[in-house]
Chains A and B, each alone.
Chain A
Amino acid sequence: MSIKPGSETDPQGGVVLTPEQARSRRARNIAIGITVALLAVLFYALTLVKLGGAVANRQI
Protein backbone atom coordinates (compact mmCIF):
# COMPACT_ATOMS: atom_id res chain seq x y z
CA MET A 1 0.00 0.00 0.00
CA SER A 2 1.51 3.34 -0.92
CA ILE A 3 0.84 5.78 1.87
CA LYS A 4 2.44 9.18 1.99
CA PRO A 5 2.16 10.84 5.41
CA GLY A 6 2.76 14.55 5.15
CA SER A 7 3.41 14.48 1.43
CA GLU A 8 3.25 17.48 -0.88
CA THR A 9 -0.23 16.66 -1.93
CA ASP A 10 -1.46 16.93 1.64
CA PRO A 11 0.31 19.79 3.48
CA GLN A 12 -1.75 19.23 6.66
CA GLY A 13 0.05 15.97 7.44
CA GLY A 14 -2.75 13.66 6.43
CA VAL A 15 -2.63 10.45 4.45
CA VAL A 16 -3.41 10.43 0.78
CA LEU A 17 -5.30 7.28 -0.11
CA THR A 18 -4.44 5.32 -3.20
CA PRO A 19 -7.31 4.92 -5.69
CA GLU A 20 -7.77 1.33 -4.46
CA GLN A 21 -8.01 2.43 -0.81
CA ALA A 22 -10.41 5.23 -1.69
CA ARG A 23 -12.57 2.85 -3.72
CA SER A 24 -12.73 0.24 -0.97
CA ARG A 25 -13.51 2.90 1.66
CA ARG A 26 -16.36 4.23 -0.48
CA ALA A 27 -17.74 0.70 -0.95
CA ARG A 28 -17.55 0.07 2.82
CA ASN A 29 -19.30 3.36 3.58
CA ILE A 30 -22.12 2.54 1.16
CA ALA A 31 -22.47 -0.95 2.71
CA ILE A 32 -22.61 0.53 6.23
CA GLY A 33 -25.21 3.09 5.08
CA ILE A 34 -27.43 0.42 3.54
CA THR A 35 -27.07 -1.81 6.63
CA VAL A 36 -28.04 0.99 9.03
CA ALA A 37 -31.03 1.93 6.86
CA LEU A 38 -32.21 -1.70 6.73
CA LEU A 39 -31.75 -1.98 10.49
CA ALA A 40 -33.98 1.06 11.01
CA VAL A 41 -36.64 -0.49 8.75
CA LEU A 42 -36.32 -3.81 10.61
CA PHE A 43 -36.85 -2.21 14.03
CA TYR A 44 -39.71 -0.06 12.72
CA ALA A 45 -41.50 -3.10 11.26
CA LEU A 46 -40.76 -5.18 14.37
CA THR A 47 -42.30 -2.50 16.56
CA LEU A 48 -45.45 -2.44 14.44
CA VAL A 49 -45.74 -6.24 14.44
CA LYS A 50 -45.14 -6.56 18.19
CA LEU A 51 -47.54 -3.78 19.14
CA GLY A 52 -50.14 -4.90 16.59
CA GLY A 53 -53.64 -3.61 17.18
CA ALA A 54 -52.87 -2.97 20.84
CA VAL A 55 -51.28 0.35 19.96
CA ALA A 56 -54.78 1.81 19.51
CA ASN A 57 -56.01 0.51 22.89
CA ARG A 58 -53.48 2.12 25.16
CA GLN A 59 -54.57 4.50 27.92
CA ILE A 60 -53.89 8.16 27.16
Chain B
Amino acid sequence: MSDASYIDGAEAAGAAPRIPVAAPSDYFQLLKPRVMSLVVLTALAGILIAPAPPHPFIVFAALLSIAVGAGASGALNMWYDADIDAVMTRTARRPIPAGRMEPESALAFGSVLSMLSVFTLGFATNWLAAALLAFTIFFYVVIYTMWLKRSTPQNIVIGGAAGALPPMVGYAAATGDIGLASVILFAIIFVWTPPHFWALALMKHDEYGRAGVPMMPNVHGADRTRLEILVYSALLAPLGVAPWLLGFASTVYGAVSIVAGAYLVWLAIDVYRKREGDAARRASLKLFLFSISYLFLLFLIIVGERTLHIVGVV
Protein backbone atom coordinates (compact mmCIF):
# COMPACT_ATOMS: atom_id res chain seq x y z
CA MET B 1 0.00 0.00 0.00
CA SER B 2 1.45 3.38 -0.99
CA ASP B 3 1.60 6.23 1.47
CA ALA B 4 0.71 8.75 -1.24
CA SER B 5 -2.91 9.81 -1.74
CA TYR B 6 -4.07 11.97 -4.63
CA ILE B 7 -6.14 15.10 -4.30
CA ASP B 8 -8.26 16.93 -6.83
CA GLY B 9 -7.19 20.09 -8.59
CA ALA B 10 -9.41 22.41 -6.58
CA GLU B 11 -7.92 21.26 -3.31
CA ALA B 12 -4.40 21.39 -4.72
CA ALA B 13 -4.92 24.97 -5.85
CA GLY B 14 -6.46 26.16 -2.60
CA ALA B 15 -5.97 25.18 1.00
CA ALA B 16 -4.15 22.03 1.92
CA PRO B 17 -6.46 19.03 1.91
CA ARG B 18 -7.61 17.68 5.26
CA ILE B 19 -6.45 14.13 5.73
CA PRO B 20 -8.36 12.36 8.51
CA VAL B 21 -6.50 10.85 11.44
CA ALA B 22 -9.59 9.27 13.01
CA ALA B 23 -9.04 5.76 14.37
CA PRO B 24 -11.72 3.04 14.25
CA SER B 25 -12.31 3.77 17.95
CA ASP B 26 -13.37 7.31 17.02
CA TYR B 27 -15.97 5.91 14.63
CA PHE B 28 -17.14 3.57 17.38
CA GLN B 29 -17.48 6.57 19.70
CA LEU B 30 -19.78 8.21 17.11
CA LEU B 31 -22.22 5.35 17.69
CA LYS B 32 -22.76 6.43 21.34
CA PRO B 33 -22.12 2.93 22.72
CA ARG B 34 -23.71 3.59 26.13
CA VAL B 35 -26.97 4.70 24.49
CA MET B 36 -26.71 1.66 22.22
CA SER B 37 -26.58 -0.68 25.22
CA LEU B 38 -29.89 0.71 26.50
CA VAL B 39 -31.39 0.47 23.01
CA VAL B 40 -30.30 -3.19 22.74
CA LEU B 41 -31.86 -4.00 26.13
CA THR B 42 -35.18 -2.27 25.39
CA ALA B 43 -35.39 -3.72 21.87
CA LEU B 44 -34.66 -7.19 23.25
CA ALA B 45 -37.50 -6.74 25.75
CA GLY B 46 -39.77 -5.82 22.82
CA ILE B 47 -38.74 -8.99 20.97
CA LEU B 48 -39.12 -11.27 23.98
CA ILE B 49 -42.61 -10.09 24.96
CA ALA B 50 -43.83 -11.31 21.57
CA PRO B 51 -46.09 -14.40 21.80
CA ALA B 52 -43.59 -16.45 19.78
CA PRO B 53 -40.10 -14.94 19.55
CA PRO B 54 -38.22 -15.87 16.35
CA HIS B 55 -35.13 -18.04 15.85
CA PRO B 56 -32.24 -16.92 18.10
CA PHE B 57 -30.08 -15.97 15.12
CA ILE B 58 -32.89 -13.79 13.72
CA VAL B 59 -33.13 -12.18 17.18
CA PHE B 60 -29.37 -11.54 17.08
CA ALA B 61 -29.55 -10.03 13.57
CA ALA B 62 -32.54 -7.87 14.53
CA LEU B 63 -30.78 -6.58 17.65
CA LEU B 64 -27.61 -5.88 15.69
CA SER B 65 -29.59 -3.93 13.07
CA ILE B 66 -31.49 -1.92 15.68
CA ALA B 67 -28.27 -1.19 17.61
CA VAL B 68 -26.46 -0.08 14.45
CA GLY B 69 -29.48 2.03 13.42
CA ALA B 70 -29.40 3.73 16.84
CA GLY B 71 -25.65 4.19 16.49
CA ALA B 72 -26.11 5.72 13.04
CA SER B 73 -28.55 8.23 14.56
CA GLY B 74 -25.88 9.07 17.12
CA ALA B 75 -23.28 9.64 14.39
CA LEU B 76 -25.63 11.91 12.43
CA ASN B 77 -26.45 13.76 15.66
CA MET B 78 -22.73 14.32 16.31
CA TRP B 79 -22.27 15.54 12.74
CA TYR B 80 -25.07 18.12 13.05
CA ASP B 81 -24.41 19.14 16.66
CA ALA B 82 -20.61 19.48 16.49
CA ASP B 83 -20.91 23.23 17.23
CA ILE B 84 -22.95 22.58 20.39
CA ASP B 85 -20.73 19.68 21.46
CA ALA B 86 -17.64 21.91 21.25
CA VAL B 87 -18.87 24.29 23.98
CA MET B 88 -20.12 21.67 26.45
CA THR B 89 -17.59 19.93 28.73
CA ARG B 90 -19.57 16.67 28.61
CA THR B 91 -19.25 16.45 24.82
CA ALA B 92 -16.17 18.53 23.90
CA ARG B 93 -13.95 15.45 23.61
CA ARG B 94 -16.11 13.80 20.99
CA PRO B 95 -14.22 13.04 17.73
CA ILE B 96 -15.44 16.06 15.70
CA PRO B 97 -15.07 18.88 18.27
CA ALA B 98 -11.77 17.35 19.38
CA GLY B 99 -10.51 17.72 15.79
CA ARG B 100 -9.83 14.04 15.15
CA MET B 101 -12.52 13.72 12.48
CA GLU B 102 -14.03 15.86 9.74
CA PRO B 103 -17.83 16.38 10.04
CA GLU B 104 -18.27 14.99 6.51
CA SER B 105 -16.81 11.65 7.64
CA ALA B 106 -19.42 11.39 10.42
CA LEU B 107 -22.18 12.31 7.94
CA ALA B 108 -21.07 9.63 5.48
CA PHE B 109 -20.60 7.05 8.23
CA GLY B 110 -24.03 7.74 9.76
CA SER B 111 -25.81 7.76 6.39
CA VAL B 112 -24.29 4.49 5.22
CA LEU B 113 -24.99 2.76 8.54
CA SER B 114 -28.59 4.05 8.55
CA MET B 115 -29.33 2.49 5.18
CA LEU B 116 -27.44 -0.69 5.98
CA SER B 117 -29.25 -1.19 9.31
CA VAL B 118 -32.72 -0.58 7.85
CA PHE B 119 -32.22 -2.94 4.90
CA THR B 120 -30.59 -5.62 7.04
CA LEU B 121 -33.51 -5.50 9.50
CA GLY B 122 -35.99 -5.67 6.60
CA PHE B 123 -34.20 -8.66 5.12
CA ALA B 124 -33.75 -10.43 8.47
CA THR B 125 -37.28 -9.87 9.80
CA ASN B 126 -39.95 -7.83 8.02
CA TRP B 127 -40.46 -4.44 6.40
CA LEU B 128 -42.76 -3.03 9.11
CA ALA B 129 -39.87 -3.32 11.57
CA ALA B 130 -37.50 -1.82 9.00
CA ALA B 131 -39.90 1.08 8.35
CA LEU B 132 -40.20 1.71 12.12
CA LEU B 133 -36.40 1.73 12.43
CA ALA B 134 -36.12 4.15 9.50
CA PHE B 135 -38.75 6.36 11.16
CA THR B 136 -36.83 6.22 14.46
CA ILE B 137 -33.62 7.39 12.75
CA PHE B 138 -35.51 10.11 10.85
CA PHE B 139 -37.28 11.29 14.00
CA TYR B 140 -34.08 11.47 16.05
CA VAL B 141 -31.96 13.15 13.39
CA VAL B 142 -34.39 15.45 11.58
CA ILE B 143 -37.24 16.11 14.04
CA TYR B 144 -35.22 16.14 17.28
CA THR B 145 -31.63 17.08 16.35
CA MET B 146 -32.22 19.47 13.47
CA TRP B 147 -35.50 21.02 14.56
CA LEU B 148 -36.70 20.63 18.16
CA LYS B 149 -33.39 20.63 20.04
CA ARG B 150 -32.55 24.23 19.13
CA SER B 151 -36.07 25.62 19.04
CA THR B 152 -38.21 24.55 22.02
CA PRO B 153 -37.87 23.53 25.69
CA GLN B 154 -40.16 20.60 24.82
CA ASN B 155 -37.27 19.24 22.70
CA ILE B 156 -36.54 16.17 24.81
CA VAL B 157 -40.23 15.53 25.56
CA ILE B 158 -41.21 15.13 21.90
CA GLY B 159 -37.77 13.94 20.84
CA GLY B 160 -37.98 11.25 23.51
CA ALA B 161 -40.24 9.31 21.14
CA ALA B 162 -37.15 8.35 19.13
CA GLY B 163 -35.48 6.80 22.17
CA ALA B 164 -38.73 5.08 23.14
CA LEU B 165 -39.33 3.34 19.81
CA PRO B 166 -36.79 0.44 20.01
CA PRO B 167 -39.16 -1.91 21.96
CA MET B 168 -41.80 -1.35 19.27
CA VAL B 169 -39.23 -2.00 16.55
CA GLY B 170 -38.22 -5.18 18.37
CA TYR B 171 -41.81 -6.34 18.80
CA ALA B 172 -42.56 -5.59 15.15
CA ALA B 173 -39.44 -7.54 14.15
CA ALA B 174 -40.72 -10.56 16.10
CA THR B 175 -44.39 -10.40 15.11
CA GLY B 176 -44.80 -8.12 12.07
CA ASP B 177 -47.30 -6.17 14.17
CA ILE B 178 -47.63 -3.43 16.81
CA GLY B 179 -49.10 -4.79 20.04
CA LEU B 180 -50.38 -3.14 23.23
CA ALA B 181 -47.46 -4.58 25.21
CA SER B 182 -44.91 -2.86 22.97
CA VAL B 183 -46.86 0.41 23.18
CA ILE B 184 -46.68 0.19 27.00
CA LEU B 185 -42.90 -0.25 26.85
CA PHE B 186 -42.75 2.72 24.46
CA ALA B 187 -44.81 4.80 26.92
CA ILE B 188 -42.54 3.91 29.87
CA ILE B 189 -39.41 5.16 28.07
CA PHE B 190 -41.27 8.17 26.64
CA VAL B 191 -42.44 9.36 30.09
CA TRP B 192 -39.06 8.46 31.66
CA THR B 193 -37.14 10.77 29.30
CA PRO B 194 -38.16 14.23 30.66
CA PRO B 195 -37.29 13.68 34.35
CA HIS B 196 -34.06 11.97 33.33
CA PHE B 197 -32.82 14.74 31.02
CA TRP B 198 -34.20 17.62 33.05
CA ALA B 199 -32.36 16.35 36.15
CA LEU B 200 -29.20 16.63 34.04
CA ALA B 201 -30.28 20.01 32.64
CA LEU B 202 -30.72 21.39 36.18
CA MET B 203 -27.05 20.64 36.84
CA LYS B 204 -25.77 21.76 33.42
CA HIS B 205 -28.12 24.66 32.64
CA ASP B 206 -25.25 27.15 32.29
CA GLU B 207 -23.59 24.96 29.66
CA TYR B 208 -26.84 24.48 27.77
CA GLY B 209 -27.31 28.26 27.96
CA ARG B 210 -23.85 28.90 26.51
CA ALA B 211 -24.52 26.41 23.73
CA GLY B 212 -27.87 28.06 22.94
CA VAL B 213 -29.94 24.94 23.61
CA PRO B 214 -33.33 25.98 25.05
CA MET B 215 -33.62 23.39 27.81
CA MET B 216 -36.48 23.72 30.29
CA PRO B 217 -34.41 25.32 33.14
CA ASN B 218 -32.99 27.93 30.74
CA VAL B 219 -36.35 28.93 29.29
CA HIS B 220 -38.91 28.48 32.09
CA GLY B 221 -36.58 28.42 35.09
CA ALA B 222 -35.45 25.79 37.57
CA ASP B 223 -38.65 25.87 39.68
CA ARG B 224 -40.95 25.07 36.75
CA THR B 225 -38.51 22.32 35.71
CA ARG B 226 -38.63 20.80 39.22
CA LEU B 227 -42.43 20.79 39.11
CA GLU B 228 -42.51 19.13 35.70
CA ILE B 229 -39.93 16.55 36.83
CA LEU B 230 -42.25 15.70 39.72
CA VAL B 231 -45.33 15.45 37.47
CA TYR B 232 -43.59 13.18 34.93
CA SER B 233 -42.13 11.02 37.74
CA ALA B 234 -45.60 10.66 39.28
CA LEU B 235 -46.89 9.52 35.86
CA LEU B 236 -43.95 7.19 35.31
CA ALA B 237 -44.25 5.26 38.59
CA PRO B 238 -47.71 3.72 37.85
CA LEU B 239 -46.86 3.31 34.16
CA GLY B 240 -43.82 1.26 35.18
CA VAL B 241 -46.15 -1.16 36.98
CA ALA B 242 -48.41 -1.59 33.91
CA PRO B 243 -46.51 -4.58 32.38
CA TRP B 244 -47.38 -6.58 35.53
CA LEU B 245 -50.98 -5.30 35.65
CA LEU B 246 -51.47 -6.20 31.98
CA GLY B 247 -50.04 -9.67 32.51
CA PHE B 248 -46.86 -9.67 30.47
CA ALA B 249 -44.54 -9.38 33.46
CA SER B 250 -44.41 -11.39 36.70
CA THR B 251 -45.25 -10.53 40.29
CA VAL B 252 -41.52 -10.09 40.94
CA TYR B 253 -41.48 -7.39 38.27
CA GLY B 254 -44.62 -5.88 39.80
CA ALA B 255 -43.05 -5.68 43.27
CA VAL B 256 -39.75 -4.25 42.01
CA SER B 257 -41.49 -1.69 39.79
CA ILE B 258 -43.68 -0.49 42.69
CA VAL B 259 -40.70 -0.06 45.05
CA ALA B 260 -38.41 1.47 42.40
CA GLY B 261 -41.20 3.77 41.15
CA ALA B 262 -41.93 4.96 44.69
CA TYR B 263 -38.21 5.68 45.24
CA LEU B 264 -38.07 7.59 41.94
CA VAL B 265 -41.00 9.77 43.02
CA TRP B 266 -39.34 10.32 46.41
CA LEU B 267 -36.16 11.48 44.66
CA ALA B 268 -38.26 13.79 42.44
CA ILE B 269 -39.89 15.25 45.58
CA ASP B 270 -36.38 15.78 46.98
CA VAL B 271 -35.42 17.65 43.79
CA TYR B 272 -38.61 19.73 44.13
CA ARG B 273 -37.90 20.64 47.76
CA LYS B 274 -34.16 21.32 47.63
CA ARG B 275 -33.74 24.36 45.44
CA GLU B 276 -30.52 26.01 46.56
CA GLY B 277 -26.81 25.26 46.58
CA ASP B 278 -25.06 21.94 46.78
CA ALA B 279 -28.06 20.11 48.26
CA ALA B 280 -30.09 20.96 45.13
CA ARG B 281 -27.28 19.76 42.87
CA ARG B 282 -26.90 16.51 44.82
CA ALA B 283 -30.65 15.86 44.65
CA SER B 284 -30.63 16.33 40.85
CA LEU B 285 -27.59 14.08 40.48
CA LYS B 286 -29.22 11.33 42.56
CA LEU B 287 -32.39 11.46 40.46
CA PHE B 288 -30.40 11.49 37.21
CA LEU B 289 -28.32 8.45 38.21
CA PHE B 290 -31.23 6.50 39.70
CA SER B 291 -33.42 7.14 36.65
CA ILE B 292 -30.85 5.23 34.55
CA SER B 293 -30.84 2.32 37.03
CA TYR B 294 -34.65 2.39 37.15
CA LEU B 295 -35.06 1.90 33.41
CA PHE B 296 -32.29 -0.70 33.20
CA LEU B 297 -33.80 -2.60 36.13
CA LEU B 298 -37.34 -2.77 34.72
CA PHE B 299 -36.24 -3.88 31.26
CA LEU B 300 -33.61 -6.26 32.66
CA ILE B 301 -36.30 -8.05 34.71
CA ILE B 302 -38.59 -8.32 31.67
CA VAL B 303 -35.72 -9.71 29.56
CA GLY B 304 -34.62 -12.07 32.34
CA GLU B 305 -38.03 -13.56 33.11
CA ARG B 306 -39.06 -13.87 29.46
CA THR B 307 -35.77 -15.64 28.70
CA LEU B 308 -36.36 -18.06 31.59
CA HIS B 309 -39.89 -18.63 30.30
CA ILE B 310 -38.69 -19.31 26.74
CA VAL B 311 -36.02 -21.79 27.83
CA GLY B 312 -38.62 -23.50 30.02
CA VAL B 313 -37.20 -22.76 33.48
CA VAL B 314 -40.40 -21.06 34.70
A16 touches B12 (CB 8 A): no
- The closest CB in chain A to the CB of B11 belongs to A5
In A37-60, which residues have CB < 8 Å from any B CB? Answer: 39, 42-43, 45-46, 49-50
Size of the A side of the interface (Cβ < 8 Å), in residues, is: 29
A15 touches B21 (CB 8 A): no
Contact residues of A: prevailing secondary structure: helix
B interface, size bucket: 20 to 34
User: What are the residues of chain A within 8 A of B123 when measuring CB–CB?
Assistant: 43, 46
User: What are the residues of chain B within 8 A of A22 when measuring CB–CB?
Assistant: 3
B4 touches A42 (CB 8 A): no
Q: Which residue of A17, A28, A31, A50 is within 8 Å of B4 (Cβ)?
A: A17
User: What are the residues of chain B within 8 A of A13 when measuring CB–CB?
Assistant: 6, 12
B4 touches A27 (CB 8 A): no
In B57-85, which residues have CB < 8 Å from any A CB? Answer: 57-58, 61, 64
A24 touches B16 (CB 8 A): no
- The closest CB in chain A to the CB of B123 belongs to A46
A15 touches B61 (CB 8 A): no
CA of A8 to CA of B34 in the docked complex: distance in angstroms? 47
CA of A43 to CA of B122 in the docked complex: distance in angstroms? 12
Q: What are some 17 contacts across the A-B interface (CB < 8 A)?
A: A1-B19, A5-B7, A5-B16, A12-B4, A14-B6, A14-B7, A15-B7, A17-B19, A20-B21, A22-B3, A24-B23, A28-B22, A29-B1, A31-B27, A43-B120, A49-B57, A49-B58
Closest 5 CB pairs of A and B: A31-B24, A14-B4, A24-B21, A49-B57, A3-B16
